[in-house]
Structure 1
Amino acid sequence: MTRAAPASGPAPGPAPGRRAGRRRSPAHRRLRRLQLRLTLAYTLITLAGVSALSWMVIRTDERSWRAAAYDEMDQRAAVSTSLIYYTDAGLQLDGLHDDEHTRGTPRVRVLHAAPGDALRLVFTSPGPADPAPGEDRLTALARTAMDRDDTVRAEEPDSRGATAYLLARPFHHDETQEVRGAVVVVGDPSQWMAEHRRLATSVLVGAGLLTALAAATGHLLSGRSLRPAWQSLEAQERVLADAAHELRTPVAVMRSSVDIAGTDPRGLDPHLPRIRRATERLTDVVENVLTRGRLQAAGPDLRAVPLRLDQLVEQACEELAAGPHVVTTSLDASVVTADPALVRIAIRNLLDNALRHGRTPGPGPAAARAEVHVMVRGATVAVADRGPGIAAADLPGLTERFRSPGGGTGIGLSLVREIAAAHGGSLTADLRPGGGTLVRLSLAPGEAGPAHATGTT
Structure 2
Amino acid sequence: MQNIPKMFQSATLKLTIWYLAGIMLVCLVFSVLVYNFASGELYARFEVIEARLAQSTTVLAQSDFNFETVRDRQIAEAEHNIVGMLLYANLAVLAIASVASYILAKRTLRPIEAAHEAQTKFTSDASHELKTPLAVMKTELEVILSDSGATKQDYREILESNLEEVDRLSELSSTLLKLARLEYSELEWRKFNITETVDTAIRSLGERADRIDVEAVKKLPDIEANPTSITELAVVLLDNALKYSPSDTRVTVSLKRRVRSVELSVTNIGVGIAPDKLPHIFTRFYRASSSRTLEENASYGLGLPLAKKIVELHHGELTASSQPGVFTTFTVRIPLSQTRAL
1:51 and 1:272, CA in 2 relative to 1: closer, same or farther beyond 3 A?
same
- Which whole-Å deviations, capped at 9, do the CAs of 1:306-333 have from their partners, x for residues lacking one? 344344444444444768x962332647
Cα displacement (A) at 1:269: 1.2
User: Is the counterpart of residue 254 in structure 1 residue 146 in structure 2?
Assistant: no
One-letter amino acid matched to 2:194: L
What do residues 341-373 of structure 1 show as CA deviations (whole Å, max 9, x unaligned)? 3333333333333343213xxxxxxxxx46442
More divergent stretch after superposition (54-63 vs 345-354): 54-63
Correspondent of 1:444 among 325, 334, 339: 334
Tell me which of the two structures has the higher relative contact order, counting C-alpha pairs closer than 8 angstroms and 6 or more residues apart.
Answer: 1
CA deviation map 1:194-229 (0-9, x unaligned) = 433322211112223444565566557666766775
- Match of residue 411 from structure 1: 302
2:253 to 350, 356, 375: 375
State the match for 1:328 in structure 2. 212
Secondary structure of 1:102's counterpart equals: coil
Residues 425, 443 of structure 1: 8 Å contact kept: yes
1:244 aligns with 2:244: no
Query: Do 2:137 and 2:162's aligned partners in 1 also have CA atoms closer than 8 Å?
Result: yes
Partner residue, 1:283: 170
User: 2:80 — aligned with what?
Assistant: 197
Q: Counterpart of 2:334 in 1: which secondary structure?
A: coil
Aligned partner of 1:421: which letter?
E
Q: Which amino acid aligns with 2:213?
A: T
Question: Partner letter of residue 330 of structure 2?
Answer: R
- 1:41 and 2:10 equivalent? no
Report the counterpart of residue 114 of structure 1 in structure 2. none
Distance (whole Å) between structure 2 residues aligned to residue 215 and residue 194 of structure 1 = 31
Q: Which one-letter code corresponds to 1:410 in the other structure?
A: G
Q: What is aligned with 1:89? A: none
Identity level (%)? 22
Q: TM-score, normalised by structure 2?
A: 0.66
Q: Which amino acid aligns with 2:173?
A: V
Cα drift, residue 253 of structure 1: 3.0
Q: Following TM superposition, by how much is the alpha carbon of 1:444 offset from its aligned partner in structure 2, in angstroms?
A: 2.0
Q: Name the SS for the 1:282 alignment partner.
A: helix
Deviations 1:51-87 (A, max 9, x none): 466468668978978xx79x98xx99xx9xxx9xxxx
Normalised to the residue count of structure 1, the TM-score between the two structures is 0.52
Q: 1:255 to 1:348 in 2, by over 3 A?
A: farther
After TM superposition, the structure 1 = structure 2 runs for residues 246-395 of structure 1, keeping only pairs within 5 Å, are 246-264=129-147, 265-266=150-151, 267-298=154-185, 301-320=186-205, 327-330=211-214, 332=216, 335-359=222-246, 369=247, 371-378=249-256, 379-395=262-278
Counterpart selection for 1:426 from 315, 318, 321: 318
Larger helix fraction of residues: 2
Q: 1:223 to 1:250 in 2, by over 3 A?
A: same
3-state secondary structure, aligned to 2:211 = strand
- Could you tell me which amino acid in structure 1 is paired with residue 319 of structure 2? L
* 1:427–1:441 Cα contact (<8 Å) kept: yes
1:100 CA displacement = 4.1
Distance 1:339 1:245 in 2: 32
Segments of structure 1 that go 5 or more residues without pairing to the other structure are 1-24, 84-97, 107-166, 168-185, 360-368, 447-457
Change in Cα spacing, 1:338 to 1:256, as seen in structure 2 (3 Å) is farther
Structure number with larger C-alpha Rg: 1
SS in 2 for 1:403: coil
Secondary structure at the aligned position of 2:191 is classed as: strand
Distance 1:224 1:338, change over 3 A: same
Q: Specify whether residues 302 and 245 from structure 1 end up closer, same or farther in structure 2 by C-alpha distance, changes over 3 A only.
A: farther
Letter in 2 for 1:329: D
Q: Sort the Cα spacing of 1:62 and 1:419 in 2 relative to 1 into closer, same or farther, 3 A.
A: closer
For 2:270 and 2:99, the matched residues in 1 are separated by: 56
What is the aligned-residue RMSD (CA, Å)? Answer: 4.5
Instruction: State the AA in 1 paired with 2:162.
Output: I
* Contact kept? 1:310, 1:376, Cα under 8 Å: no
**CA pair 278-201 structure 1, distance change in 2 beyond 3 A:** same
The 3-state SS of whatever aligns with 2:142 is helix
Q: Does the 8 Å contact 1:389/1:437 carry over to 2?
A: yes
Q: Which amino acid aligns with 1:40?
A: I
Matches within 5 A, 1:132-211: 193-211=76-94
* Larger strand proportion of the pair: 1
- Structure 2 residue runs without a partner (length 5+): 257-261, 292-297, 337-342
Cα deviation, residue 409, structure 1 = 1.0
CA 317–200 in structure 1, closer or farther in 2 if over 3 Å, else same = same
Aligned to 1:30: 7
Determine the C-alpha separation between the residues in 1 that align with 2:205 and 2:6: 46
Letter of the 2:304 partner, please give it.
L
Distance 1:393 1:200, change over 3 A: closer
Q: Which residue of 1 aligns with 2:340?
A: none
Distance 2:274 2:33 in 1: 73
> Taking structure 1 as reference, are residues 305 and 259 closer, same or farther at Cα in structure 2, changes over 3 Å only?
farther
